Amino acid sequence: MPTLTVTGEAGVTLVFLPSPRISLRPNLTARVFGGEYRATNIKHNALSATTRFNYELIFLEGRNLICLVIGLPGSGKTTLADAIAHRFVSVRLNANEIRADLSSDLGFSVADRVEQARRLGALSRLLDRQGLHVVVDFVSPTEETRQAFGPASILVWVDRIDECRFADTQQLWESPARYDIRIPSGVSIEEEADIVMAMIEENGLLHATEEN
């Protein structure tokens, strides 16, 4: 049975099985990976069952929570991220685990650290588009790596230590100029998680999950 292929000018192709639910009309809308595409300027070729259109991305990102926890190695960011993730249904991404698999080709040069950050951000947004909350922890030592990761719903800086055991990371480290929560020393993990959860709930960042 032939399929109906809809191709956007930016290269996005949507493939549908013939269905009475699909009609070729100026406001044709399709949802793909959490994104909503609205078709305009439809031109249908009855012989090839191909429809080409200009599409408008209505909604793709920002539906769910991406919580990014950063800090020097040994500061307790992984433990805090675990504690946060246990408070609600979420996907945990740990930078060391990603390095061992998805980023096994990367080292610790400045360029590789930036690429690691980009991959973590891209993976987080992909999961976000699937309707999942994401809790990520990694060092993210510079403003460049934080920019490469991209926007997070909430950025937590675990500032519990001044020096770490890795000289190269210590030398690169730049304290973040922008963050949502700074965690100082002298606070228990559960207290830290409470602080983060209070901001998450205050800003309604779990609203999408409550509706599903």
**Both 86 and 189 in a single domain?**
yes
- Residue 209: its pLDDT value, please? 40
Domain that holds residue 52: 4-59
> Which entry of 75, 90, 124, 140 is annotated as an active-site residue?
140
- 165 exposed, middle or buried (CB, 10 Å; 0-12, 13-18, 19+)? exposed
- Residue 103: its pLDDT value, please? 95
pLDDT(2) > 90: no
**Both 103 and 158 in a single domain?**
yes
Task: Choose between 32 and 161: higher pLDDT.
Answer: 161
Residues 6+ positions from 75 with CB-CB distance below 8 Å: 158, 159, 160, 161, 164
CATH number of the domain encompassing residue 78: 3.40.50.300
Between 7-11, 116-120, 167-171, the lowest mean confidence (pLDDT) is in: 7-11
Q: Is 140 among the residues known to form the active site?
A: yes
**Both 24 and 112 in a single domain?**
no
**Both 20 and 119 in a single domain?**
no
**Both 150 and 94 in a single domain?**
yes
**Both 33 and 130 in a single domain?**
no
What are the tens digits of pLDDT across the range 153-207?
A: 999 999 999 999 999 999 999 999 999 999 999 989 999 999 999 999 888 887 5
- Residue 47: its pLDDT value, please? 41
Are 148 and 154 in contact by the 8 Å Cβ rule? The answer is: no
pLDDT(110) > 50: yes
- Residue 172: its pLDDT value, please? 96
**Both 83 and 54 in a single domain?**
no
- Residue 63: its pLDDT value, please? 60
At 130, give phi and psi (nearest 5°): -85, 5
Which of 37, 35, 200, 56 shows the shortest CA–CA distance to 128? Answer: 35
What are the tens digits of pLDDT across the range 135-150?
A: 999 999 999 999 999 9
**Both 131 and 30 in a single domain?**
no
Q: How confident is the model at residue 129 (pLDDT cuts 50, 70, 90)?
A: confident
